[in-house]
Structure 1
């Protein structure tokens, strides 16, 4: 049988830009490809309202974060002056060394000067995704009939070449590019080589596989309520936060939302609230080493237990969530994309 050789994957970032504003504008290219661990330069330019033109000076700095609501104090990425274009000329081109941007996140730019000019460009963001490259190689002892290489499942475009080694032997290589996501975590990918034999003889096959171990921030964050049926006023209900993440979630936090105001009310995967006549909206955040994600809002609406005729009205829950989809966890860690 033939041996098939795996090579490590490479990681590339892609960054689409969104629509522009009429006054404060920012322009970024729709796609940027870069190898994981190397540097990436984001060409960037912006405009400000005419009344702020005079404030563009040497005190201005550019900051990046994965949340549109941030300041220079809590920015996730803080480029130094030599990493950024000339902001006085409206050039926000930024270079990140060793690719500190995380995949699956949208990054926003904030301009801060030591004057009245402080603005976060919420109209546009850089969306980071990952492209993985898998390489499968098999010996080609018969040059006129090299093996046919097949990927299962075929997750993207592949390109095949017949290469010559230093000892003049040849090898058939297939390179497949695919967009890696949390959906691929733990799902086996295999490569099969089929060798043709003489007429009347069955083909010979060789196969190898790997199970991707893909690191990603929390996904599919949902809130469930127990009990889900009607409950009387002043009764307790349990809220449970669930998510899919690798590495596992290390912290769950609970918030009460009131318009634009958000108040931290507790921590832990489960949280107890007391039902009252006051309409309240809750949500949770799940955090791991790669980032955090919040659930959609859960609103608990209370109706009185008794009507004038003495008939019970049901407690009404308005829950905006979906059941967490269970993902198989792999014990084999042959490929890591982080």
Structure 2
């Protein structure tokens, strides 16, 4: 009996081989082209099948149908060891199970404790009395790795400053019973949402969506999505790094003058405008403040001008498709009288100068008052008809050794003036009567009547 069954099996294999040799497809299987699997984990093969029209009359879905997986090559007639799993058998080379409902043509299968030796192509076959068939044109390539593949980050729409944006991170889940856990690293606060989803080829993956509002400070900052796979008692991880590309209007716009020091009238100076923007700045515009109103004077990142006596305040504007940015005002200072001075500095300088002048006037007033006081005192104390010991009368002196000429009797008296030397003034007590006389004296000079050789004050 056993010999007849073996003979029947060989005949079936021979017939299958003949059909294959003539290129007749007697089963249509649907499954992914490739699956990446982790060592020590499980792998789920999404699978479904259909019967070609010419064989539908021989297939009976109510009859128990067995699913068979063949490794490496669909021709297993001479290599029965290529059959690694048969759902009708209790012992198989690969530990696994068909989780799909075969009566509904669902052949989804799970293999457990995958090792690197599992890496190969696999073909699917069904056996149902009286129908048997293998899809020789469709296979799934299983690739077993020691480390998981990196997750994939995608961006939904433009990442623009001030506008909420969503980033998606997906990681394959070859073993849906133990899906990976996804985590994010971002330079700002965010919210996340994770879910297990089915892909178009019926494989599974975990999708994590993060939502945040970008700033221009986040431009060219790195973000990271990390996937952690539980494998046995340990974890295996992979990550994906991506640099943010944030669109924003011009920032940190700066106007500068070279040379920065005050310049001479008629010389050339160069004004330069710089700014940070994404996309880059497309237009620079220069303005001069005339009175209280800015006036456009040039376009371009650099502006060269000949210095006039006016000098003035300048600023620039930078713009791109997202907006514009304005710089602070810069002072074009001119050497000489036309040089512009900061109002605050001018006020401090003027106040200091005013205080100095006031103190000087007070000191001069006190000095002149004391001078008059001492002058009056000396003249009061001198005997009548004698020269003052302090003041030396300056007259036209004759040449040394010559006698001065006497004036003619009929010449009018000449009034001459002389300097009074206060450096020899002696401090004396002032009598009350002298003080009264001094109070009314205001003249700064001594009047001298020249009537002869002697002079009296």
> Higher strand share goes to which structure?
1
Scaled by the length of structure 2, the TM-score of the pair is 0.37
For the pair shown, the structure with the greater C-alpha radius of gyration is 2
Q: Which has the higher contact order (CA 8 A, sep 6+)?
A: 1
